[in-house]
Amino acid sequence: MTETSASAAPIQRPDLSGARLKRRYAAEARFRLYGLIAVFAAIGTLVLLLTSIISNGYTAFAQHHIALEVTFDEAEIDPTGEREYNVLRRANYQGIARASLRGSFPDVTERRAKRALVGLMSGSADQTLRDIVLANPDVIGTTQTVWVKASDDLDSFMKGHISRDVPESDRRIKDRDIGWIDQLIADERIESQFNTTFFTAGDSREPEQAGIWGATVGSFLMLFVTLVLSFPIGVLSAIYLEEFAPKNRWTDLIEVNINNLAAVPSIVFGLLGLAVFLNFFGLPRSAPLVGGMVLALMTLPTIIIAARAALKAVPPSIREAALGVGASKLQAVTHHVLPLAMPGILTGTILGAAQALGETAPLLMIGMVAFIVDIPGGFTDSATALPVQIYLWADSPERAFVEKTSAAIMVLLAFLVVMNAVAVLLRKRFERRW
C-alpha cells in the first residue's frame, strides 16, 4: 500500500464553526418554507376557487316572486262555460297576468312605462296561471293571490347584484323600476322562495326559467352508456393482459398504447367521434348515445389501468391455491382473483366515471352544445350535459346566468364529491393488505 503515504498530510477536520452552520440552517429553513408556501398556495387557490363559485352561486337557489291579485274572469278564460280542456288551455293568460300587475299601479298609463312595468314579471307568469286553472277550474270567477316569478333583472336587483349606487344609465333596472319595486316591497308583495325550477326545468333563454334537470338527465344517460360499454370491455382486457396474455411484442404494444391513450387530449376523442360515429356511421348528432360512446373510449384506459393494478395486487399464492385444487385458469381468475380485485376495479371505474361526468370538450365536437329545452327521454334524443350546460350559461350575456352557472357548478361538484366519496369508502372498506 504505497498509496497511503498521502495520509501523512495534516488532517483538516470539518469546519463546524457557528457562523457556517447558522448559514446552512438558514438555507434549510428557507427551503422548507418554500415547500410550505407551495403547499399552501395550492390549497389557497382551491379555497379561492370554491369560495368564488359558492359566493356567486348560492343565491341561485332562491328566486324572487311577485304577488298578483288575479281575477280569473270567466268571460275571458272560458266564454262558453263548458270547462273544455282545450279552451282552458288556450285562454289569454298572459293578458290576465299583465292586467293584474297593471291593476296594482293604476297611475302608470304611458305605453312604454306600461311595458317596462310588465317586464318586472317573468315571461312564465302565464304558465303559472294556466297551471292553476287547469289543476282546479273552480278558481274561474274568483280573485286569488298568485305568486309569479319575477324577471331576472328584478331578481338580480333584489339579490344585490345590481346596485342602486350605479349611475342609472349603467344598470338594467332604472330609477322608475326601483320606485315600483319599492312600492311592491312596501306592500309585501315581493318574496324570495326556494327555486324549484332550477332543479326541475330544462334550459331556457330566460334565466329565471332555466334549470339543470335536462342537462342532468343528459349527463346520466351518457354516463350509463359509458359505463355499459367501458366497464365490461375494460375489465375483460385488464384480465386478459394481466392474467392470460403472453409477454410478447403485441401485448407490449397494447400496454404502451393504453398508457398513451390515457394522455391523449380529450378534444381529439371528440374529433374521432365526429369523424367516425357521426359522419361515417351516421349516428344522430347531440345524442347521449354518441356522447357516451366517445366518453367510453376516453374512460377505457383509466379503467384498464386501475383494474390491472387491482388484479396485480392479488398475490399469486391465491391463483396457485386455486389451480392446485384442479380449477382451470379461467375458474381460478373468475372465482378467486376477480372477486378479490373487484373493490379496486370498482374504485377505479367510479373515478373514471367521475372524470367522464366532468368532461366537456369532446361533447362540443359531437354537437351536444345545441340549445335544448326539452328533457331528453332516450339515448337518441337531443340532449346536453351538465358541464356543457355550464359552458353554455357561462357564455350567456345575462347577469343572472352568472349565478346559475355557479350553482350548476356546485351541483356538478356535488355529484363528483359523492362519487369520489363512494370510491374512497369502497377502498377503505375493502382494502386488504397482503
Partner 1 sequence: MSLLILAATLLLLTLAGYYMGRGRSVAVSQGVTHRLHSRPQYYGVYVALWCGMPSFLLLALWLALEPQIVEMILVSNLPASILDLNPDQRGLIVNQITSLALGGIVGGNITPEIEAAARDYAGMRQTGFAAMAVLVLCIAIFGLALGRKQIATTLRARNRVETIVSAVMIVASTIAIATTIGIVLSLLFEASRFFTKIPVTDFLFGLQWSPQTALREGQVGGSGAFGMLPLFAGTLLITFIAMCVAVPVGLYSAIYMSEYAGPKMRAIAKPILEVLAGIPTVVYGFFAALTVAPFFRNTGDALSLDVSSESALAAGIVIGIMSIPFVSSLSDDVMNSVPQTLRDGAFALGATKSETIKQVVLPAALPGIVGSVLLAVSRAIGETMIVVMAAGLAANLTVNPLEAVTTVTVQIVTLLVGDQEFDSAKTLSAFALGLMLFVVTLTLNVIALRVVRKYREKYD
Partner 2 sequence: MAMAAENLVDENPNIAEHKIIARDVSVYYGEAQALKSVALDIGRNQVTSLIGPSGCGKSTFLRCLNRMNDVIDGCRVVGDITLDGEDIYDPKLDVVQLRARVGMVFQKPNPFPKSIYDNIAYGPRIHGLGEAKADTDEIVERSLTRAGLWKEVKDRLDKPGTGLSGGQQQRLCIARAIAVNPEVILMDEPCSALDPIATARIEELIDELRENFTIVIVTHSMQQAARVSQRTAFFHLGDLVECGDTQQLFTNPNDERTQGYITGRFG
Q: What is the footprint of partner 2 within residues 18-57 (CB under 8 A)?
A: 20-21, 24
HSE-up (13 A, CA, CB side) for residue 11: 3
> Binding partner 1 by CB under 8 A: which of 134, 185, 236, 421?
236
In this chain, which stretch among 5-13, 241-249, 324-332, 374-382 interacts with partner 2, using CB under 8 A?
5-13
Distance of closest approach, residue 209 Cβ to partner 1, in angstroms: 21
Tell me, residue by residue from 149 to 188, as one string, x for binding to partner 2 by CB under 8 A and - for no binding.
----------------------------------------
Smallest gap from Cβ 24 to partner 2, in A, equals 7
Instruction: Please give the biggest Cα pair distance in the chain.
Output: 126
Site string for partner 1, 90-119 (x = CB under 8 A): ------------------------------
- Which residues is 146 bridged to in the sheet? 68
User: Does residue 325 belong to the site contacting partner 2 (CB under 8 A)?
Assistant: no
State how far the Cα of 181 lies from the Cα of 170, in Å rounded to an integer. 18
Owner of C-alpha cell 305568486: 147
Are 332 and 322 spatial neighbours (Cβ–Cβ below 8 Å)? yes
Q: Select from partner 2, partner 1, none the partner in contact with residue 204, using the beta carbon and a kind-dependent cut-off of 5 to 8 Å.
A: none
Exactly one of 387, 401, 407, 411 binds partner 1 (CB under 8 A); that residue is 387
On whether the CB atoms of residues 400 and 307 are closer than 8 A, the answer is: no
Angle between helices 338-357 and 288-313 (to 10 degrees): 140
Stretch that binds partner 1, among 78-86, 130-138, 171-179, 300-308 (CB under 8 A): 300-308
Query: Are the beta carbons of 57 and 407 closer than 8 angstroms?
Result: yes
Residue from 362, 344, 203 nearest 297 by CA: 362
Long-range CB pairs of 17-20 (<8 Å, 24+ gap) are none
Question: Least distance to partner 2 from the beta carbon of 20, Å?
Answer: 5
Stretch of 102-110, 145-153, 168-176, 384-392 lying at the interface with partner 1 (CB under 8 A): 384-392
Written as nine digits, the cell of 304 is 384498464
Residue linked to cell 346536453: 384
Q: Does 232 bind partner 1 (CB under 8 A)?
A: yes
Q: Work out what residue 266 binds among partner 2, partner 1, none; the CB cut-off runs from 5 to 8 Å by kind.
A: partner 1
* Interaction of residue 318 with partner 1, rule CB under 8 A: no
Taking the C-alpha atoms of residue 156 and residue 64, their distance in angstroms, rounded to an integer, is: 9
Per rule CB under 8 A, is residue 11 in the interface with partner 2? yes
Measure the CA–CA gap between 190 and 162, rounded to whole angstroms.
17
Quick one: cell of 76?
A: 275571458
337 interacts with partner 1 by CB under 8 A: no
- Determine, following the binding rule CB under 8 A, whether residue 43 of this chain makes contact with partner 1: yes
- Residues near partner 2 (CB under 8 A) are 1, 3-4, 6-7, 9, 11-16, 20-21, 24
